[in-house]
Amino acid sequence: MSRKKISLIGGGNIGGELAQRIMVKELADVVLFDIVEGLPQGKALDLMEARPLDNSDVEITGTNKYEDIHGSDVVIVTAGLARKPGMSRDDLLQKNLTIMKDVAGNIKEHAPKAFVIVISNPLDAMVYTMQKVTGFATSQVVGMAGVLDSSRFRAFVAMELGVSVQDVVAMVMGGHGDDMVPVVRLCAVGGIPLTELLSQEKIDAIVKRTQMAGGEIVGLLKTGSAYFSPAASAITMAESYLKDKKRVLPCAAHLNGEFGLDGYFVGVPVVIGAKGVQKILEFKMTDDEREELQGSFNHVKKLVDAIQL
Ligand code: TXD
């Protein structure tokens, strides 16, 4: 049985980290694509030379030619500009929209059967663009944000309580912006509701830090945004697809009336298996939760409605 194939469109900070993680896990062969001459080829060769140390026999190829992504099972898209200090994710819209249209057209032509995971910001608008321009089924296109945001929430809870991250579950929904919706009611530590373990003040502080976590890292790095955690998040999604794990993960998925929302991509709990986004797990929200989700959805809708596709 031949190995699966993952193509990475964008060989920058996240792209390189994605390629390394795939290599170490021997998840699939990798094609690393970028428009910069030499960048993907250099990173691919470097990773090929690391394989003996990780006992990994996957093939990693760097390329500037879209033809090389032919036959991909998964395509992960990080092409685009990243934030600099003082920028919002929305500030990237116009430049990354142009890039995303180009990328989507090439994926449609060269990898029409691939499961597409979009990472580029502003995420909810970019994944919407990907699906509209490719015309792929909505089950075949998904955005990575909620897995990252939920991981950040879980990490902050574990740090505060001094417990293993393994025993903290959390769900962050909505758009990938400062108005994302950590659903505190669903957070549990070893099955114990978070609200029984931390004061409301500490919970509010963790919610806020989660919502601003991307900007916190941009402010520290000054030259770009987070890349270790976004890469880990997207690999979790890709693995669930390739191994048909049917993980329940918060992802930017196309809504068709779920949670009373329709026609756009925002973060909701989905099942990812061999058929892609196989279903959206809807649940009864409190009035406050619904109001927060509606607010975050409205922000995404406003941003997307400004796009001329
Ligand atoms: O949770 C999330 N979804 C976010 C997403 C988490 C962190 C970062 N987020 C966004 O991912 C970030 O705001 C950016 O929009 C993307 C990629 O972030 P990264 O840190 O990897 O950016 P880099 O290092 O600048 O890499 C982008 C690469 C770079 O090598 C460019 O040459 C390439 O994209 N690029 C292109 N590749 C293909 N095709 C085109 N047109 C193109 N234009 C630039």
Q: How far is the CA of 221 from the centre of ligand 1 (A)?
A: 15
Same-domain status, 163 and 184: yes
Mean pLDDT of the chain: 97
- Minimum-distance ligand 1 atom for the alpha carbon of 39: 30
CATH of the domain at 114: 3.40.50.720
What residue ranges line ligand 1, CB within 6 angstroms? 9-15, 34-36, 39, 78-83, 92, 96, 99, 102-103, 119-121, 123, 144-145, 148, 176, 224-227, 230
φ, ψ of residue 33 to 5 degrees: the values are: -110, 140
CATH of the domain at 260: 3.90.110.10
The domain tally of the chain equals: 2
State residue 85's pLDDT score.
Answer: 87
Tell me the longest C-alpha to C-alpha distance in the chain.
Answer: 55
Q: Which of 96, 116, 143 is the last residue of a domain?
A: 143
Containing structural domain, residue 291:
146-305
Same-domain status, 237 and 98: no
Same-domain status, 127 and 23: yes
More confident residue, 308 or 127: 127
State residue 3's pLDDT score.
Answer: 94
Q: How far is the CA of 197 from the centre of ligand 1 (A)?
A: 38
Same-domain status, 180 and 277: yes
Q: Which of 106, 127, 143 is the last residue of a domain?
A: 143
Same-domain status, 213 and 73: no
Q: How far is the CA of 79 from the centre of ligand 1 (A)?
A: 4
**pLDDT above 90: residue 227:** yes
Whether residue 176 lies in the annotated active site: yes
Residue 288 corresponds to which amino acid?
Answer: D
**Least confident residue range of 44-53, 82-91, 107-116, 150-159:** 82-91
Please spell the DSSP secondary structure of 210-239, one letter per residue: HHTHHHHHHHHHSS----HHHHHHHHHHHH
State residue 231's pLDDT score.
Answer: 98
Same-domain status, 121 and 192: no
State residue 111's pLDDT score.
Answer: 98
φ, ψ of residue 244 to 5 degrees: the values are: 50, 45
Mind listing the pLDDT tens digit for each residue in 71-91? 999 999 999 988 888 888 888
Same-domain status, 133 and 159: no
Q: How far is the CA of 54 from the centre of ligand 1 (A)?
A: 26
The residue whose two tokens read 């191994």 is: 243
| Mutation to probe ligand 1, out of 8, 14, 221 (largest number of atoms < 8 A from CB) | 14
Q: Which of 94, 120, 143 is the last residue of a domain?
A: 143
Which contacts of 215-224 are long-range, i.e. CB under 8 A and separated by 24 or more positions?
215/83, 215/178, 218/83, 218/84, 218/85, 218/87, 219/85, 222/84, 222/85, 223/84, 224/13, 224/82, 224/83, 224/84
**pLDDT above 80: residue 308:** no
**pLDDT confidence bin for 123, thresholds 50/70/90:** very high
SS3 298: helix
